[in-house]
Amino acid sequence: MFNDIGALELVTIVVLAILIFGPDKLPKVIQDVSGVIRKIRAFSDSAKQDIRSELGPEFKDFEFEDLNPKTFLRKQLGENEDLKEIRSSFDLRKELNDVTDAVNSRAADPAPAASAATGPDLLKKPAAPAAEQRTPYDADAT
């Protein structure tokens, strides 16, 4: 619940609590707050037990943490054998490395005849067409 509270934040909370409630009332306030937290936990546990008993025996292994979408997806993706096989067969880093190697080897290739034999160089910008090859611009047509 308080996993992301650091030491400085904790010291700040303690100092503020001492300043607000005073050293005399602070133990009583801590006792009251811990009692309320205990009652909330007990209420939550009894509600969970009631829901499990109402769902029936087929949901005896039901966990409320699975209702969190991230947890549900992580559990489903981790248990499904077909998805594990697909994930292992598709390696995006390997594919990207292959493409990078292919581009780097073509860019490092000094012989233009060899690259012309393999096909057009897609990395170079095509030359602009000559002025007489351009179609005339018709302002009335647009």
**How confident is the prediction along the chain (142 residues), in pLDDT tens digits per residue?**
567 778 899 899 989 988 998 889 989 999 999 999 999 999 999 998 888 888 888 877 778 777 788 887 777 776 666 666 776 677 778 888 888 888 888 666 555 554 445 566 666 766 666 656 667 777 777 6
Q: Is residue 132 part of a domain?
A: no
Within a domain: 85: yes
For residue 42, tell me if it sits in a domain.
no
Question: Is 6 part of a structural domain of the chain?
Answer: no
Q: Residue 131's pLDDT is what?
A: 57
Cα(19)–Cα(46) distance, integer angstroms:
37
Predicted local confidence at residue 115, as pLDDT = 46
Q: Is residue 21 part of a domain?
A: no
pTM of the entire predicted model: 0.42
Cα-flanking dihedrals φ and ψ of residue 18, to 5°? -65, -40
Alpha carbon separation from 102 to 5, 39, 50, 52, 109 (Å, rounded): 48, 65, 62, 57, 11
- Tell whether 119 is covered by a domain: no
Q: Is residue 11 assigned to a domain?
A: no
Which of 95, 97, 92, 73 lies closest to 83 in space, CA to CA?
73
How many structural domains does the chain have? 1
Q: Which domain holds residue 87?
A: 63-107
